[in-house]
Amino acid sequence: MIADLVVAIDHVGIAVPDLDAAKQWYATHLGFQTLHQETNTEQGVEEAMVGLADGGAVIQLLAPLDESSTIAKFIDRSGPGLQQLAVRVTDVEEVTRRLTDAGIRVLYPAPKRGTADSRINFVHPKDAGGVLLELVEPAASSSH
C-alpha cells in the first residue's frame, strides 16, 4: 500500500512570470517569508519556497529561466497559476515503482534533483485526475 510511504502534502507549486513580484505579493498581503530560494537549471526555473516562519505547508513559486522551460510553456498555455501539487514521501523510488506497477505513468524513469537536494518525480496529470502530482522525498537534512 502506497499510503505507508506518503507522509504529508508538501507544497503547491505556482507558476509566475516574475519571481520577485510574486514573493513581494505574498509578503505584503499574507506575511509570507522567503524560506528558501534557488535556481534549478535542470528544471529551467528560479524558485522560492514561501510561507510562515513558524512552519506549516509552503508555496513554491516557480519562474522560468527562459522561454524554453516547462514553466514558461505552462504560463504561455495556461497563464500564471497553480501548476502542481506535491506530496511528501519517504521513498520516491518505491512509490514510483508501485505506481508504475499499477499502470500509472510517471514523467521520469528515475528520480531527479528537486528543491534543496530533494529527490522528485511526477505522476502524469492524465493518470492523476488532471493534476500534475509531484512526489517529493526531502533531503535528509531538510525539514521541507
Q: What is the CATH number of the domain that holds 9?
A: 3.10.180.10
Q: Could you tell me which of 65, 73, 59 has the C-alpha nearest to residue 40?
A: 65
| pLDDT tier at 55, thresholds 50, 70, 90 | confident
pLDDT, one tens digit per residue, over 114-123 is 999 999 999 9
Would residue 47 count as lying in a domain?
A: yes
Against a cut of 0.95, is the pTM above it?
Answer: no
pLDDT, one tens digit per residue, over 11-20 is 999 999 999 9
Would residue 56 count as lying in a domain?
A: yes
What average pLDDT does range 120-134 have in this prediction? 96
**Residue 143's pLDDT is what?**
52
Would residue 27 count as lying in a domain?
A: yes
> Number of folded domains in the chain?
1
Would residue 108 count as lying in a domain?
A: yes
Would residue 143 count as lying in a domain?
A: no
Task: Kindly tell me the number of DSSP H helices and DSSP E strands found in the chain.
Answer: 3, 8
Would residue 64 count as lying in a domain?
A: yes
pLDDT, one tens digit per residue, over 60-112 is 999 999 999 999 999 999 999 999 999 999 999 999 999 999 999 999 999 99
Would residue 142 count as lying in a domain?
A: no
| pLDDT tier at 142, thresholds 50, 70, 90 | low
Would residue 130 count as lying in a domain?
A: yes
Enclosing domain of residue 129: 2-137
112/110 Cα distance (integer angstroms): 7
**Residue 140's pLDDT is what?**
86
**Residue with grid cell 502542481, as numbered in its chain:** 84
Checking if the pLDDT of 144 tops 60, the result is no
